[in-house]
Amino acid sequence: MALMKVKDILQHATENHYGVAAINVFNYETVKWAAEAAKRERIPLIIQLYPGFESYISLHHVAAFAKEFAQNADVPIAVHLDHSASYEIAVRGIKAGFPSVMVDGSARPYEENVAMTKAVVQTAAVFDVDVEAELGHVGSGASVDDIVNSDNYTNVEQAVDFVEKTGCGSLAVAVGNAHGAYVQTPNLDFERIKKLRAALSVPLVLHGCSDIPHEQLQESVRLGMSKFNIATEYFRACYASICAAADPENKDGSFMSLLNEASEGAIDFVRGKMRLLNPNGFSL
């Protein structure tokens, strides 16, 4: 199965009524474990990197081995650069070899967000790279206001204008979701999701999916949300798996063996999310 484009996977998901897990990674193992989960579940996957991890690992390293996993997979896997906060970061991702990038101008005034997103879309088109954008304020789960204040949410009419003016291929929306750990249980605005889905032709993206109640994620799938970003919970699962496999009494332990032993817990976590986002039981 060849490396697939994000837009093609999301279109397939929309047509077949499942949600795609977009798993954030930061090294070889986190990519390997996510890809193995997709293989076992027989369902498409998006592997993505947050550019803020660039101080830990270079963009082109992750792009290279993530694409290699995708090219050798027997299920569709796409590779994506998450949350580029500027035109320059998005273009750096394109240069590093990412077939899809997100440009996030949501913290900027509306017209600046439009202009920056449009510029990234135009540049990306030259290299046949997909572009995800964001409208509305998907803030921090540590802030109650970011979660509950509907003034932060995506405006439907503005979203229509934004997509038309920028030409973005998918749109991340704010509907009561936020990044990181939540200080209180989020309650997604399903009515707004319905209206956004009815008004827009592009796939919709939900950021901050870690710890959103399962029934809310499944309802979002049913309402037509296509891409579900998962980072915090995956990193927790990886950490817990390594801790469970580690033996502090084993002074001659092998780090490679430890990672191999820890793999199943991380793989099982991703498989569980894939099943959750696939309420109709789709399989390739």
Rounded Cα–Cα distance for residues 120 and 118 (Å):
5
Angle at 230 between CA 95 and CA 85, to 5 degrees: 40
Q: Give me the phi and psi of 132, to 5 degrees please.
A: -100, 140
The answer to whether 73 and 44 have CB atoms below 8 angstroms apart is: no
Phi-psi region of 250 (alpha: psi -120 to 50; beta: other; left: phi over 0): beta
Closest CA to 181 of 153, 154, 146, 157: 146
| Annotation marks residue 268 as catalytic | no
Coil/strand/helix, residue 270: helix
The answer to whether 135 and 163 have CB atoms below 8 angstroms apart is: no
Rounded Cα–Cα distance for residues 232 and 105 (Å):
22
Rounded Cα–Cα distance for residues 261 and 245 (Å):
6
Q: What is residue 183's DSSP assignment?
A: S
Q: Work out the angle between the directed axes of helices 156-166 and 110-126 (0-180°, nearest 10).
A: 40
Q: Considering the candidates 8, 74, 82, 247, report the single residue annotated as catalytic.
A: 82
Rounded Cα–Cα distance for residues 19 and 34 (Å):
16
Q: Write the single-letter amino acid at 85.
A: A
Query: What residues are annotated to the active site?
Result: 82
